[in-house]
Amino acid sequence: MTWKQVRGSWVMAPDGAPLGRVRDMVVNPHTGNIPALWINSADGMKLLAVDEINRWTRTEIFIESLTDLILPEEFPRLKKVLQQEVSIINAPVFEKAESLKKIGTCNNFSFDTLSPSLLSLETISGWLIWQQTRIIHRRQILEMKKNGIFVSIPILAEKIKRSSSPEMLQGSLPEAETSQSFRGE
């Protein structure tokens, strides 16, 4: 699923009564795990631990009861993550190579509802009809900070594109660089 699909989804009790709507997600910036959702309920903004979710659909999330929605101060295991929380949507995305190069802005992200963890980022760059969309896999994410998301772009495609030499294509291909900072697994 994607953030855009889940944002605004109804949170429902087992009897079908609406308890609130998904406002945002809490994403751990070091691991990519999603421990909780921000829910806009009749009592204000509350947190819903993802392990309290019985079932997800694209328009509804089913939980056991209203007591599953809690205030941030009632969720001590999430305190550290909330202090480090960074905005992902509309965050600038930079390629971290020899120098920093802005490659776009994060427009959406996909996640796995079973783990639940970040799977990929969708970035956009350019203007209106000249917009370019790029999907960044979680293994390419090096860091998520308040000033942006830093990624590693595999050099393989770039080297093949630059070379018109058939020898380059027939030889052994370079291995993609990896990072140990963020794996999201």
pLDDT tens for residues 57-87? Answer: 889 999 998 899 999 999 898 899 999 989 9
Paired with 102 in beta bridges are 94
Does residue 157 lie within any of the structural domains? yes
Nearest C-alpha neighbor of 71 from the set 94, 98, 47, 89: 47
Question: Is the full-model pTM beyond 0.85?
Answer: no
Q: What is the pLDDT of residues 9-46, one digit of tens each?
A: 999 998 989 999 999 999 999 999 999 999 999 999 99
Domain boundary among 27, 56, 84: 84
Distance of alpha carbon 16 from alpha carbon 43, whole angstroms: 18
110 shares a domain with 145: yes
Q: Which amino acid is at 77?
A: R
3-state secondary structure of 66: helix
Paired with 125 in beta bridges are 132
DSSP 44-56: EEEEEEGGGEEEE
Domain boundary among 84, 113, 137: 84
Q: What is the pLDDT of residues 128-174, one digit of tens each?
A: 788 899 999 999 999 999 999 999 987 544 444 444 444 444 444 34
- Domain extent at residue 64: 3-84
117 shares a domain with 160: yes
